[in-house]
Structure 1
């Protein structure tokens, strides 16, 4: 996002559930990176949507009203992304601000194709299952396992959306 907005400007965060580890990690990781490497980017606020499309739409609409010169929004899960994208579209801000999200759905893919979402990060569902089962098996056998297992994450935008490997991430069971 920082590169896409030229390293400066105001950005907001629409997170999912305030107390969940994924929301905390995604929110804090974003904030820490911006504060450490991009002093000309101001985070204007974090709003919580509970992963609900309508709540995300409402929170985003309020954020856009309060900060009309917003350069970007980061949404932390599918519900937050879809609600945020809907608000961006309804407020005629598509193409004027950068919207980066996490997770994927048909709605997100369509918003990406329509130019409302700039890009989103997806996890690797195959690796999540495979490495989770492998770690469980290893634990049962008494082997030591890593406290953190990276299952992979990939950034998707219009430049790579149609790549075969990306399609496998988006549709692990096929279309």
Structure 2
């Protein structure tokens, strides 16, 4: 009986130590009641993956615009696409006793320890566009990236037909947006298209250019390119233009200012357009709702639209 009791206790301890990462898992912290605060009393820490990308500049602008309207103090940091720098930035924001953290992760896995540090400090975390693979998240504000990838693949099938040779420019490895957009695209492309190559270009325009140049050396007969963001798509457009490839369709994702312009003038065939300013506002509004004692859903959807060139 003694051995049985010890075994049961050990099993109980093991199970209690195996908590999974959750979204909006406030139920596990019932003792930590929210101290209600008005918008003008809040200090909001913001960590953006990179402000070298116009999309994330717009996300930041959405946050700061709504913050200024409500006299909310914001502290914004630019991780410069460096997961280690972002972790340090998050630590700094925690040390500054922010009331809430709005985070757009560079890497969904690498951000987990920083999220857990915020959890320990009882600072709620809201993620934008990309999730965290662990830790306790109040909510994720993002578009349906899987659906967006499916929209891009379906558009390509519609335009170039089944079995056409296509390539994919992937985003930053480890980012949830990379995984999800790729998953959605491949769900349809693996059945309807011939994806001859797929390679990361880190959501970066210059890398999109160089990766596309390399792809064309071994796959000069492609008919379409799906880039997981507009920056990489615009880089691909430059590479295709330099190679004299005028009839290759390029489809991007995000709907940033340059991407939308390229679609309107026919340089890009389409973009799966998000609304980054609205995404930023939705994230900050979720923080306001939380500190007003309102229920915040574990996932807040930011709208998507497939914008297509007229010609």
Normalised TM-score (structure 2): 0.46
Larger Rg: 2
How far apart are residue 87 of structure 1 and its match? Answer: 0.8
Match of 2:182 in 1: 27
Bigger Cα displacement from structure 2, 41-50 vs 137-146? 137-146
Match of 1:60 in 2: 212
Bigger Cα displacement from structure 2, 135-144 vs 1-10? 135-144
Distance 2:223 2:232 in 1: 18
Alignment of 1:121 with 2:276, yes or no, is no
Alignment of 1:81 with 2:233, yes or no, is yes
How far apart are residue 142 of structure 1 and its match? Answer: 3.5
How far apart are residue 152 of structure 1 and its match? Answer: 0.3
How far apart are residue 51 of structure 1 and its match? Answer: 2.5
Query: What is the 5 A alignment of 1:78-157?
Result: 78-94=230-246, 96-105=247-256, 107-157=258-308
The superposition leaves residues 94-138 of structure 1 with CA deviations (integer Å, 9 ceiling, x where unpaired) of 2x2211001245543454355331011221234313322222222
Distance 1:116 1:87 in 2: 12
Segments of 4+ in structure 1 off by > 4 A? Answer: none
When residues 60 and 75 of structure 1 are mapped into structure 2, their CA distance, relative to the original with a 3 A threshold, is same
Structure 2: stretches of 5+ with no match in the other structure:
1-155
Match of 1:166 in 2: none
Structure 1: stretches of 5+ with no match in the other structure:
161-175
Bigger Cα displacement from structure 2, 101-110 vs 117-126? 101-110
When residues 114 and 123 of structure 1 are mapped into structure 2, their CA distance, relative to the original with a 3 A threshold, is closer
**Number of positions where the alignment pairs a residue of Structure 1 with one of Structure 2:** 156
Q: Contact 1:10–1:70 at 8 Å: present in 2 too?
A: yes
Distance 2:285 2:204 in 1: 33
Distance 2:278 2:261 in 1: 25
Match of 1:4 in 2: 159
When residues 132 and 105 of structure 1 are mapped into structure 2, their CA distance, relative to the original with a 3 A threshold, is closer
Q: What value does the CA root-mean-square deviation take over the aligned residues?
A: 2.2
Normalised TM-score (structure 1): 0.77
When residues 58 and 147 of structure 1 are mapped into structure 2, their CA distance, relative to the original with a 3 A threshold, is same
Match of 2:203 in 1: 51
Match of 1:165 in 2: none
Distance 1:82 1:55 in 2: 10
